[in-house]
Amino acid sequence: MISANERLFQRLGEFCSGRGAPIAPNDGYRYVEGDEESDLIIKHLSLGRRVLFGSQRAAVHATLGDDDFIILVGFDYLDEYVNRYPEFGEDVQESDCLPGHVVVTLSELEIRPERSGLEAQAFVEVADSTTDSYEGHDVEELKRLFPRLAVFDCRFSLDENSFYQLVAKFAAAESAYGGGWISEALLGDLLALASISAKSFPYEAISRAVFDTDPRNLYLALYRCLEATYAYKTSEELAKALGLSIAWSELAVKLDQKLSWRPREASSLEVVLRHASDTDLRKVVASFGKEGGDDAARSAASSIYGLRNRIVHFGASLDSVNISDYDWNAVCCALVGVVYDVFHSAFDPVTV
């Protein structure tokens, strides 16, 4: 409890100094007000996996005994979307953010205040243990210095996969409601996509990409979802030929680790796209402003892979991809549909 409060006020002091408002020397010590429940939280709350989106937004998996929580920092529009979309479910409920949660989170994460150095200085210097009747700094005043901090009680056990899955949902919704470029239609598709429970799904990449002002990065994150299934057919056929009772995704990992084997990208993309519906494949081609051929999978693969290369690579023979070249909401909506189809084919529907 002592060290957590010390770290918190040390971080505030460093912030103030960096903003030209250093804290005046003092002989006392400082801490955040709290009660017995908050004291127990400071003692026993453990912060585990975390995703930091810059210096003023974060998502953290926290545990207290047998209970799992997700702590969000800098998610300002939670009230507008959490209860609106069923993908968040009743198993994730916002609970009280107590002084203990605030102290642990701000002492362990490098979250920068959103107020000025002078405001932070005034908060810190208001009192210390040498002040008569000092019972700690006001937690509400402390919270006003920082981005919004919210605590959600998870009524199920959070593992690595379900944590990043949940973060992807919060991130997509926050971006859409917080002034990002993502439309409501694309948000609905992303929430459905983030409901897929597959170990090979790059949830974290999508979480970061939705906050990016460059929509090309979400396109690349969705492409990575398809990359995750490139070894699907080969690994499945190899396991069958060898009589192995092992999931194709596990076999693909072993082949990569032991033999450095990886499937060929362009041909693998066409193979996995044959697990998508013709309707979704033709939507992808149409979103690029093209007309598809008789082979929907081949046409979509050519369009998807071609745009991916133009974004990633630079060369005299490659045209650059400007943001204004495409309707990125339409492109990403179409690509989400294909990714959803492919994952439902590649993974056991029971686990998806």
pLDDT tens sequence across 73-119? 999 999 999 999 999 988 899 999 999 999 999 999 999 999 999 99
Question: Per the structure block, which two tokens stand in for 268?
Answer: 């693998």
pLDDT score, position 254: 58
Q: Where residue 45 falls among pLDDT bands split at 50, 70, 90? A: very high
The DSSP string of 102-145 is HHHHHHHS-PPPSS-HHHHHHHHHT--TTSTT---B-HHHHHHH
Angle in degrees, 0-180, between the axes of helices 328-346 and 184-193, rounded to the nearest 10: 20
In this predicted structure, the answer to whether residue 283 has a pLDDT above a threshold of 90 is yes
The one-character DSSP state at 323 is G
pLDDT score, position 202: 85
In this predicted structure, the answer to whether residue 315 has a pLDDT above a threshold of 60 is no
Look at the block and give the residue holding tokens 């650059």.
320
SS3 for 72? strand
Residue pair 77/84 in contact (Cβ under 8 Å)? The answer is no
pLDDT score, position 261: 47
- H helical segments located in the chain: 2-18, 36-44, 78-81, 99-108, 117-125, 139-145, 160-177, 184-193, 203-209, 216-227, 232-242, 248-259, 265-273, 278-287, 296-312, 328-346
**Residue 312 CB coordination number (10 Å):** 12
pLDDT score, position 311: 87
What span, in angstroms and rounded, lies between the C-alpha atoms of 269 and 2?
A: 55
In this predicted structure, the answer to whether residue 308 has a pLDDT above a threshold of 50 is yes
Per-residue model confidence as pLDDT tens digits over 177-228:
999 999 999 999 999 999 887 776 889 999 999 999 999 999 999 998 887 7
Type of residue at 64: L
In this predicted structure, the answer to whether residue 62 has a pLDDT above a threshold of 80 is yes
Question: Per the structure block, which two tokens stand in for 267?
Answer: 């041909």
Q: Where residue 143 falls among pLDDT bands split at 50, 70, 90? A: very high
What span, in angstroms and rounded, lies between the C-alpha atoms of 299 and 303?
A: 6
Look at the block and give the residue holding tokens 């609970």.
95
Per-residue model confidence as pLDDT tens digits over 286-307:
999 888 778 999 999 999 988 8
Q: Where residue 351 falls among pLDDT bands split at 50, 70, 90? A: very low
β partners of residue 60:
50, 71
Burial-class residue 294 by CB neighbours within 10 Å (0-12, 13-18, 19+). exposed
Question: What mean pLDDT, rounded, does the chain reach?
Answer: 87
In this predicted structure, the answer to whether residue 244 has a pLDDT above a threshold of 80 is no
Burial-class residue 36 by CB neighbours within 10 Å (0-12, 13-18, 19+). exposed
In this predicted structure, the answer to whether residue 247 has a pLDDT above a threshold of 90 is no
pTM greater than the 0.75 cutoff: yes
In this predicted structure, the answer to whether residue 55 has a pLDDT above a threshold of 90 is yes
